[in-house]
Every structure is written in structure tokens, then in C-alpha cells.
Amino acid sequence: MRRSLAVLLLALAAALPATAGAASTRLAYGTGEIVPIPASIPHEAGDMVDRRIVPNLRWIAKRFPVYVTDGYSGRLPGGGPQVGCRGCHTRGSDHHNGLAVDIVALNGGGRCDRAWRPITRLARWAEPRQNRPRPPFRWVGYDGDSGHGCGHHLHLSWEHAEVREFQLAEWVEVFPVSRQGVAQKPQPRPSTPPSGLKPPEGPPGGAETGPVPSNGPRGGVSAAQSGGISPRGD
Ligand SMILES: [Zn+2]
């Protein structure tokens, strides 16, 4: 009896995540490209990121008074010029793929003052529990992480396919706000949606016709996560 009950409970537990949560993240398979950060997202002159995270950044900038101090760091793929802060990030950093940003308070001083409160809220949303970032974030650096935190900076990086440094990832995990170049894929794993924070544009399932490869991400998201919770996103 006890065993069959356990089996039943396991079956129920397995069934629940499939129905829980209306919103979800999705994998962006559109062609990656390092592009200038749009003017609507306050940033340091010259900063660039992979274009596939721009819609998420725009969404964040509409809701939080952020100022991006660094995005892509390195020579542009294909032998282009140096972009971003040189030698500022650790080896293996997501900044080296254009899939991370460093953020400070838009009108903050050089210390943890009132201007940082919204940044702290953003950090807590992206990482409700230390080292347990909310999808699609791969690593969040803030209070409790050396060299990060209120008055210093917030690091956000996005989950992505395994990729060498200074190259573009095959796919990037994003939350659904974009209508361009973002392909809806089956939910790769149960994930907590950005609760209480609705996408500003269109319905979550709203429509995408980006190129979708016939085979999914190699090894799936779980494989890409294997090195996930570590300072590698610095
Ligand atoms: Zn960073």
C-alpha cells in the first residue's frame, strides 16, 4: 500500500509542472549577432550585446532604472574591433559571448543608496534564492557575490548553448517578449515563470516564425546548465 501510494504521489508530482505556470521561457534560435545596445536602454557608449537578449533588456529597462556599464567584452566575432571592457571579466565569462550585462543604478551614487532599491528588486526577481537564478538567467551576481552587489553592480547573464569564448551561442534562453527572431520551442524543463511580471508586448505564445532547426539543442538545457551555477558568468 505504502509503495503504491508513493508511486501515485510521484505520478502526480510529475504531472503538475506540465500544467503549472502560463508563462515560460523559450529558446531563441535566431541568428546571433553582436549589436549596439539600443538608445532606449541606458548604457555606456559603445556597449554591445547579442541581439537575442535585447528584447529582454528593453523589457527590464522599462521597469527598472538601469544603466548598463558593460555587455559584450572582446573582439567582435570574425576578427572585428575590441568592444567593451577589456580584461574585466573572468575566463569563460558570458560577457565573452555577448550574453551578459553589468548594471548599475541609473541615477545612483557610488554607494548603496536609495537609487539602488529598484536594482535590488531586480536582482531578487532574477535570483530569488542565492545561486538559484530564475530562468532564463544563467548567473546573477549581486549581494553575497564577491565584487558585486548594491552600490557596486548587478550582473545578469542568460542561459545559452555551450559555446567557445568570443563566439555566438546556437541558442539563448529568454523570457518571451519578442516578436522577432524568437522561436517557440517546447518547454525544455519545468521553470518558474517571471511571476507577477507580465511581458509587455503580446501574449506569451505570441507568434514566432524564426528559423527552427529540426534537432533541438544538443544535450538540452540541462547539459548547458552543467557549469551553470558558478562564478563563470562573472
Ligand atoms: Zn558581469
Which residue, 180, 175, 157, is CA-closest to 21?
175
95 CA distance to ligand 1 centroid (A)? 6
CATH topology of domain 31-177: Muramoyl-pentapeptide Carboxypeptidase; domain 2 (3.30.1380)
Q: What's the predicted TM-score (pTM) here?
A: 0.70
Measured CA distances, 8 to 4, 16, 20, 23, 56 (Å): 6, 12, 19, 27, 39
3 CA distance to ligand 1 centroid (A)? 48
**C-alpha grid cell, residue 231:** 562564478
Q: How many residues does the chain have?
A: 234
102 CA distance to ligand 1 centroid (A)? 5
66 CA distance to ligand 1 centroid (A)? 14
70 CA distance to ligand 1 centroid (A)? 7
Question: Which helix (H) or strand (E) covers residue 26, if one does?
Answer: strand 26-28
The predicted structure's pLDDT at residue 4: 59
217 CA distance to ligand 1 centroid (A)? 25
Residue of 41 and 87 predicted with greater confidence: 41
Domain boundaries, the chain: 31-177
Segment among 7-16, 184-193, 210-219 with least mean pLDDT: 210-219
> Which residues is 101 bridged to in the sheet?
156
Residues 104-135 pLDDT 10s: 999 998 899 999 999 999 999 999 999 999 99
Contacts of 28 (CB under 8 A, 6+ apart): 52, 171, 172, 173, 174, 178, 181, 182, 183, 210
Check whether 12 has a pLDDT greater than 80: no
